[in-house]
């Protein structure tokens, strides 16, 4: 079996393309999927570099989401059939490979005719966005929502979902091109954080009121700006820390009667009712094109290092994929 393996934390050189690995066997409650495409996400770079919050056990095959076909069923698995096309979430690892194992509850049958690239590109980031906005943020029509990194995979999902829900969306991004992308995908306002201080700018846009919900995957670098932007009784939802783990002074939070919530996709996946609701509310719209998912590039499995370099260099707009077994 081919796979991208990380033997220990490091830079791009830590990514090893292997062709001699054994095909994994599904245990009870598991499904083996033959991988068509694997999603590339920022947390993959954190695992590779040793900066991930939950420390993995090395060596590890990277990748937490994929599209493909059911290849084998473990004991007790029902409702899936061999050869069925699916999207799947595997947790923290396993998808940069010819075959991957996933819990049966995290294997999602896809609509007939859905493109396998799209099937690999949506689950991790769009379910994350759904959880941030609805499970944690409790977004309502009329809310002001600030979306950081709005041209990224989760950002484009958050922007579209919030806009469709009747929220007023302010996006932040690091270039005019990315700001334009956010505006084209549902944001009402876009702030280039390299040119303007987003916290003051967001407060000015809302007439001094501040925003109700902040969706933040950046972390430490955004703490001060978030506190400037948030309204009284607002909520900052943290679901990543690309710039380092954020630390919020409780006294400053008290000063706005606002809160900070942490959101992890793995908690959503463990709650069948929430997961089913998220899938049912998003998958039809992605399949028929009413939600737009932009794929930045698709690269061969062996070129995973180039994908990581582009992601870490903030060179991407939308989703990155690795092509494994496309047919």
Alpha helices, H only, 146-243? 153-164, 176-184, 198-205, 223-229
- pLDDT by residue for the chain (327 residues), tens only, comes to 999 999 999 999 999 999 999 999 999 999 999 999 999 998 899 999 998 877 889 999 999 999 999 999 999 999 999 999 999 999 889 999 999 999 999 999 999 889 999 999 999 999 999 999 999 999 999 999 999 999 988 999 999 999 999 999 999 999 999 999 999 999 999 999 999 999 999 999 999 999 999 999 999 999 999 999 999 999 999 998 888 889 999 999 999 999 999 998 888 888 888 989 999 999 999 988 899 998 999 999 999 999 999 989 888 887 999 999 998
Round to whole Å and give the CA distance between 130 and 102: 21
Cis peptide preceding 257, ω within 30 of 0: no
Expressed in angstroms, the distance from the first to the final Cα of the chain is 16
Round to whole Å and give the CA distance between 299 and 30: 28
Q: Closest by alpha carbon to 144, among 127, 164, 166, 125?
A: 166
Run of H or E including 125: helix 123-130
Sorted by where each starts, the structural domains of the chain and their CATH numbers stand as: 3-122+293-323 (3.90.180.10), 126-266 (3.40.50.720)
59-113 pLDDT, tens digit each: 999 999 999 999 999 999 999 999 999 999 998 899 999 999 999 999 999 998 8
Q: Closest by alpha carbon to 247, among 231, 236, 263?
A: 236
Round to whole Å and give the CA distance between 188 and 171: 8
Complete DSSP assignment for 35-61: EEEEEE-HHHHHHHHT--SSPPPSSEE
Q: Which residues pair with 65 in a beta bridge?
A: 89
How many CA within 13 A on the CB side of residue 198?
28
* Cβ atoms of residues 215 and 240 within 8 Å: no
pTM for the full predicted model: 0.90
């Amino acid at each position: 079996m081919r796979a991208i393996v990380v033997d220990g934390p490091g830079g791009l050189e830590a990514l090893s393309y292997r062709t001699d690995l054994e095909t994994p066997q599904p245990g009870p409650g598991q499904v083996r999927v033959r991988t068509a495409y694997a999603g590339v996400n920022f947390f993959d770079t954190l695992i590779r570099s040793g900066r991930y919050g939950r420390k993995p056990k090395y060596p590890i095959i990277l990748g937490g989401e994929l599209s493909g076909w059911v290849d084998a069923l473990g004991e007790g698995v029902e409702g899936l059939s061999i050869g069925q096309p699916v999207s799947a979430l595997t947790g923290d690892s396993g998808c940069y490979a010819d075959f991957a194992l996933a819990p049966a509850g995290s294997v999602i049958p896809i609509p007939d005719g859905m493109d396998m690239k799209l099937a690999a590109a949506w689950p991790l980031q769009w379910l994350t966005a759904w959880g941030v906005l609805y499970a944690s943020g409790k977004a309502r029509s009329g809310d002001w929502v600030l979306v950081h990194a709005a041209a990224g995979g989760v950002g484009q999902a958050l922007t579209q979902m919030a806009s469709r829900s009747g929220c007023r969306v302010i996006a932040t991004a690091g270039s005019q091109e990315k700001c334009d992308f956010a505006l084209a995908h549902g944001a009402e306002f876009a702030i280039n954080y390299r040119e303007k201080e987003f916290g003051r700018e967001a407060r000015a846009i809302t007439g001094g009121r501040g925003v109700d919900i902040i969706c933040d995957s950046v972390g430490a670098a955004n703490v001060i700006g978030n506190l400037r932007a948030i309204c009284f009784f607002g909520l900052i939802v943290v679901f990543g820390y690309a710039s380092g783990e954020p630390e919020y002074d409780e006294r400053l939070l008290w000063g706005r009667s606002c809160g900070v919530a942490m959101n992890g996709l793995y908690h959503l996946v463990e709650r069948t009712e929430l997961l089913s609701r998220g899938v049912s509310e998003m998958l039809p719209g992605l399949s028929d094109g009413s939600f737009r998912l932009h794929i930045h590039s698709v690269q061969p499995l062996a070129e995973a290092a180039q994908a990581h370099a582009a992601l870490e260099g903030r060179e991407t707009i939308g989703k990155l994929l690795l092509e494994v077994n496309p047919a």
